[in-house]
């Protein structure tokens, strides 16, 4: 039976709905009122989707990471835990087997040896071996850009660090201990790729077959790609020979891109889809209050929503100007009118108290226009200045009202702000150019360590695309590296608190809020687990 037929057979009552809704999901499913998707089929809708099936591919977006999580294995994974409020989330403190059944770490913590499953195969039936693992790790470094930087967070920087001991044993040698090395193997970058299959499509110009895997499945994970049409939908079929965990309950998962948030909400409320993501905070707040579907909001680990100021461009090269902006932002209005309180505030901390050794923490800044005026006067900008504030149009639901609130507020200080809209497809390029005087942005770290967030966003030596403020503090860079090599304890806590104090004083970015990762789903959808990449893990989902 085809998927379309399965959907139709599952419906007991079928009435036409608005033509716009019908067209939005055809040929995915027949429109109906109070419809129900089949028990072993999951349908999810979101605004954005993957532009590649492999996160190593040049310019691959974050939804390619969602795909990789489903179709590729990694050596290890995280366990889960249940929070006091009943939410189930990944447990960063637990490392559990995936493709590797066991591993050993040397006493000096510089050698890691992994023993692989001997019955695992890729989707085409090819056995998975340690040679595939080494080639995949070499490939992640060779890809450069984001993948290579992510590998570097775990101190994986040189292919010579990886070696094949035997067919099912893989070894990593580190230049120095790094407590983030093992957790860094869980993320959607060191995915295990079918070397034999990929090399059939490699070329002299593309020895790692990145262009082929951009559009083709070379994995061995719990799902395989059934079909994919970029900009429209991707269909995952369960891989019934998966050996690296319990077989998923869902036989098929359909992720469909639907541009209109209103349509995505309506499809969920009518029962035509199981999960809707990427809705505006206002919608999630209303859906949660109505109670007809389940809304789960989980604070994103290691995350801040913030306003960046480019320290290499006037007038933001003056710390007093940056501090003035931090005191001027309309925090409360942003929380209520842009975020609808689907976040926790990151401002107004008691400046007399030390910073706790964790991230994120609230800044000592709060809305105080008198203090802002005083700092501007000290910096020689008593009469204000003109500047531009950039924001990502793919995040316009939140960022546009926020930008307007900031523009209106700074006008009170004679600061004339021109709002600059950047298409979502160009946002990462714009970030990398470091040409924005001010921008609205957010970042969350896959690894839940303060120094990991700092590595990506404050490290001048590392110089990643997420350091949009162009901040460079050599002393802080050394402290970031030092922190990665330290175990928890009083010395580590003191160093983290010191690092936080540095960036709060220099304020290259002004923290505003700690966002929720929101998801709305039908009440018969069970097993949702919040993961660090904020995407749905289809492996755990069941339906009543």
My answer on whether 162 and 311 are in the same domain is: no
Same domain, 157 and 286: no
Tokens of 477: 């860079």
223 and 174, same structural domain?
no
How many beta carbons lie within 10 A of that of residue 9, not counting itself? 10
Last residue of a domain, one of 151, 170, 199: 199
Instruction: Give residue-wise pLDDT tens across range 517-542.
Output: 999 999 999 999 999 999 999 999 99
What is the structure's pLDDT at 1?
37
What's the confidence (pLDDT) of residue 397? 87
User: 224 vs 19, 53, 137, 188, 227, CA distance in Å?
Assistant: 32, 11, 21, 16, 9
Residues 539 and 420 in one domain: no
Mean pLDDT calculated for residue range 393-410: 94
d(CA 307, CA 401): 14
The span from the CA of 142 to the CA of 23, in Å, is 43
Name the band, by pLDDT with cuts 50, 70 and 90, for residue 463: confident
In a domain, 525, yes or no: yes
pTM of the model: 0.88
Partners of 509 in beta bridges: 308
Tell me, yes or no, whether 510 lies in a domain.
yes
Q: Are residues 394 and 410 in the same domain?
A: yes
CA-closest candidate to residue 472, choices 493, 500, 503, 497:
503
**In the predicted model, what is the mean pLDDT of residues 341-359?**
96
Do residues 537 and 526 make contact, with C-beta atoms less than 8 angstroms apart? Answer: no
Distance from C-alpha of 37 to C-alpha of 340, rounded to nearest angstrom: 31
Domain termination residue (choose one: 154, 175, 199) = 199
CATH number at residue 439: 3.10.105.10
The answer to whether residue 83 sits within a structural domain is no
Whether residue 45 is contained in a domain is answered as: yes
Q: Does 324 lie in the same domain as 259?
A: no
How confident is the model over 316-338, as pLDDT tens digits?
999 999 999 999 999 999 999 99
The verdict on 100 and 187 lying in the same domain is yes
* Residue 187 CA neighbour count, 13 Å, CB half: 27
Residue 21 has pLDDT above 60, yes or no: no
Q: For residue 6, what pLDDT is reported? A: 36
Share of the chain above pLDDT 90, in %: 88
* Calpha distance 329→313 (Å, rounded): 20
Total Cβ atoms within 10 A of residue 159: 15
Domain CATH code at residue 173: 3.90.76.10
Report the distance separating Cα 140 and Cα 55, nearest Å.
Answer: 9
Distance CA 57, CA 62 (A): 11
| Burial track 242-267 (b if 16+ CB lie within 10 A, e otherwise) | bbbbeebbbbbbbbbbbeebebbbbb
142-199: pLDDT as tens digits: 999 899 999 999 999 999 999 999 999 999 999 999 999 999 999 999 999 999 999 9
Tell which residue, 11, 1, 519, 469, has the closest CA to residue 283: 519
Q: Report residue 35's pLDDT band, with 50, 70 and 90 as the boundaries.
A: low
- Which one, of 83, 50, 75, lies nearest residue 530 by Cα? 83
Answer with the one of 172, 199, 226 that is the final residue of a domain: 199
Q: Name the burial class of residue 363, with classes exposed (0-12), middle (13-18) and buried (19+) by CB atoms within 10 angstroms of its CB.
A: buried
Q: Which long-range contacts (CB under 8 A, 24 or more apart) does 123-129 make?
A: 123/71, 123/194, 123/217, 123/219, 123/220, 123/224, 123/239, 124/194, 124/197, 125/241, 126/194, 126/196, 126/197, 128/73, 128/99, 128/192, 128/194, 128/220, 129/167, 129/168
Answer whether residue 374 is part of any domain: yes
Among 388, 379, 377, 500, residue whose Cα is nearest residue 440: 388
pLDDT of residue 14: 32
Q: 243 with 117: CB under 8 angstroms?
A: yes
- The total number of structural domains in the chain stands at 3
How far, in Å, CA of 168 to CA of 192, rounded? 13
Q: What is the pLDDT of residue 37?
A: 84
Report pLDDT for 190.
Answer: 97
Residue 85 lies in a domain: no
Q: Are residues 410 and 497 in the same domain?
A: yes
Closest to 236 (Cα-Cα) out of 251, 221, 253: 253
Do 506 and 362 belong to one domain?
A: yes
Same domain, 252 and 147: no
Whether the Cβ atoms of residue 120 and residue 130 lie closer than 8 Å to each other? no
Q: What are phi and psi of 151, to 5 degrees?
A: -60, -40
**Cβ distance 161 to 177 under 8 Å?**
no
Provide the pLDDT for residue 191. 98
What integer pLDDT is reported at residue 383 of this predicted model? 96
With respect to residue 289, please indicate whether it lies within any of the assigned structural domains: yes
What does the pLDDT look like over 63-81, one tens digit per residue?
A: 999 999 999 999 999 999 9
The pLDDT, as a whole number, for residue 312 is: 97
Q: Are residues 142 and 160 in the same domain?
A: yes
Q: Give the model confidence (pLDDT) of 70-122 as tens digits.
A: 999 999 999 999 999 999 999 999 999 999 999 999 999 999 999 999 999 99
- The answer to whether residue 424 sits within a structural domain is yes
According to the model, what pLDDT value does residue 464 have?
82
Neighbours of 499 (CB within 10 A): 24
Say whether both 479 and 461 belong to one domain.
yes
Q: What is the per-residue pLDDT across 479-532, written as a single tens digit (0 to 9) for each? A: 999 999 999 999 999 999 999 999 999 999 999 999 999 999 999 999 999 999
Would you say 54 and 201 are in contact if contact means Cβ atoms under 8 Å apart?
A: no
Q: Cis before residue 27, ω within 30 degrees of 0?
A: yes
Q: Note the pLDDT of residue 225.
A: 98
d(CA 17, CA 29): 13
End-to-end CA distance of the chain: 22
| Contact partners, residue 216, CB within 8 Å, separation at least 6 | 53, 201, 225
Q: What average pLDDT does the structure give for the chain?
A: 92
- Report the SS3 class of residue 189: coil
Per the structure, the complete domain to which residue 267 belongs is given by: 3-69+213-296+518-543
Per-residue confidence band for 476, with pLDDT thresholds at 50, 70 and 90:
very high
Query: Distances from the Cα of 386 to the Cαs of 269, 400, 402, in angstroms?
Result: 45, 19, 18
């Amino acid at each position: 039976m085809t998927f379309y037929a399965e959907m139709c057979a599952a419906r007991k009552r079928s009435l036409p709905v608005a033509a716009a809704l019908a067209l939005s999901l055809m040929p995915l499913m027949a429109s109906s009122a109070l419809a129900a998707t089949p028990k072993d089929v999951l349908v999810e809708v979101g605004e954005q989707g993957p532009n590649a099936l492999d996160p190593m591919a040049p310019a691959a977006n974050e939804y390619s990471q969602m795909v990789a999580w489903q179709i590729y294995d990694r050596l290890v994974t995280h366990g889960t835990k249940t929070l006091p409020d009943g939410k189930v989330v990944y447990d960063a403190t637990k490392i559990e087997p995936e493709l590797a059944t066991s591993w050993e770490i040397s006493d000096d913590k510089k050698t890691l040896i992994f023993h692989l499953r001997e019955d695992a195969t890729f989707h085409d039936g090819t056995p998975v071996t340690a040679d595939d693992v080494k080639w995949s790790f070499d490939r992640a470094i060779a890809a450069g850009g984001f993948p290579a930087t992510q590998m570097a967070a775990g101190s994986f920087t040189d292919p010579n660090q990886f070696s094949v001991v035997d067919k099912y044993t893989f070894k990593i040698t580190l230049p120095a201990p790094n407590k983030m090395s093992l957790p860094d193997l869980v993320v959607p970058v060191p995915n295990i790729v079918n070397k034999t299959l990929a090399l059939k499509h490699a070329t002299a110009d593309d020895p790692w077959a990145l262009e082929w895997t951009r559009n083709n499945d070379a994995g061995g994970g719990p799902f395989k790609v059934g079909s994919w049409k970029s900009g429209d939908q991707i269909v995952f079929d369960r891989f019934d020979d998966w050996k690296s965990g319990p077989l998923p309950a869902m036989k098929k998962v359909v992720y469909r891109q639907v541009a209109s948030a209103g349509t995505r909400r309506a499809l969920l409320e009518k029962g035509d889809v199981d999960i809707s993501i990427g809705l505006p905070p206002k919608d999630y707040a209303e859906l949660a209050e109505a109670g007809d579907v389940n809304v789960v909001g989980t604070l994103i680990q290691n995350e801040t929503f913030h306003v960046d100021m480019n320290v290499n461009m006037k007038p933001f090269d003056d710390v007093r100007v940056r501090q003035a902006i931090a005191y001027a932002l309309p925090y409360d209005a942003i929380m209520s009118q842009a975020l609808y309180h689907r976040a926790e505030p990151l401002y107004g901390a008691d400046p007399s108290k030390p910073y706790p050794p964790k991230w994120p923490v609230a800044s000592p800044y709060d809305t105080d226009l008198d203090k802002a005026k005083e700092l501007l006067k000290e910096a020689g900008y008593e009469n204000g200045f003109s500047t531009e504030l950039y924001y990502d149009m793919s995040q316009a639901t939140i960022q546009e009202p926020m930008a307007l609130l900031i523009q209106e507020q700074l006008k009170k200080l004679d600061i004339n702000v021109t709002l600059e809209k950047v298409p979502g497809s160009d946002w990462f390029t714009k970030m990398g150019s470091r040409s924005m005087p001010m921008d609205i942005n957010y970042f969350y770290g896959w690894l839940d360590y303060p120094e990991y967030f700092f590595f990506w966003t404050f490290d001048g030596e590392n110089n990643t695309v997420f350091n949009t403020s162009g901040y460079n503090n050599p002393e802080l860079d050394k402290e970031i590296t030092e922190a990665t090599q330290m175990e928890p304890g009083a010395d580590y806590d003191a160093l983290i608190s010191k690092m936080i104090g540095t960036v709060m004083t220099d304020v290259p970015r002004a923290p505003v809020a700690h966002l929720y990762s929101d998801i709305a789903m039908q009440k018969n959808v069970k097993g949702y687990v919040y993961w660090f990449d904020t995407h749905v893990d289809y492996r755990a989902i069941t339906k009543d």
